Amino acid sequence: MRNGALAAQMRAAGLAYRINFGLNIPQIKEIASEISNMQLSSFEMLTLANSLWENETTRESRLLAPMIYPADLMTSDTALSWMRQTQTTEIADHLCHSLLRHLPFATGLAETIIADQVASDINRYTAIRLILSLLISGKTQPETARRIALSEQQRNCPATRPITIQILSEIDFLLD
């Protein structure tokens, strides 16, 4: 699969991957589904997902990896590493949605990144995005999400500000 027009649009918008097939998310999900239907062992899926993630020059590899990684085999150290290696908001969104929100220690991951004084804006975006996913799915307490969002809001970071506002709005909605 390849969508040259979409790849060109992304490149023009500043997403400069060395390799970008221009696939849309439903196409990537279709590939993930086909891989899942191959009945590979958990170890084979883990190995494949890690290989895809290590290919940081190809957009679709970084998007596909969290879709096929067996969540029950993801360790806290690996999850933190992936969060710190995230390059774009698109990858962060799909990493959080496809994999990290399913981990029993997900809130702790976000708290670790937020507490890290040298975490980059994209790392913090990933952590805040994870908190939003956990809040929406009922996997973290509103008080915890509020504390993290307010803490991050004090930084006044353009990358995380919209999500912190969304978290606080979601909490207001949930508590009303």
Q: Is the pTM of this model over 0.85?
A: yes
Interatomic CA distance for residues 98 and 86, integer angstroms: 14
Which residues, at least 6 apart from 105, have a Cβ–Cβ distance to it below 8 Å?
A: 76, 79
Count of all residues that appear for the chain in the document: 176
Look up residue 169 and give its DSSP letter.
Answer: H
CB atoms inside a 10 Å sphere around CB 150? 12
Interatomic CA distance for residues 107 and 128, integer angstroms: 10
User: Across-strand partners of 58?
Assistant: 19
Interatomic CA distance for residues 164 and 81, integer angstroms: 23
List pLDDT tens digits, range 145-174.
999 999 999 999 999 999 999 999 999 999
- On whether the CB atoms of residues 47 and 69 are closer than 8 A, the answer is no
pLDDT value at residue 10: 60
Burial 1-37 (b: 16+ CB within 10 A, else e): eeeeeebeebeeeeeebeebbbbeeebbbebbeebee
List pLDDT tens digits, range 133-147.
999 999 999 999 999
- For the chain, residues with pLDDT lower than 70 are 1-17, 19, 21
Three-state secondary-structure class, residue 59: helix
pLDDT value at residue 7: 56
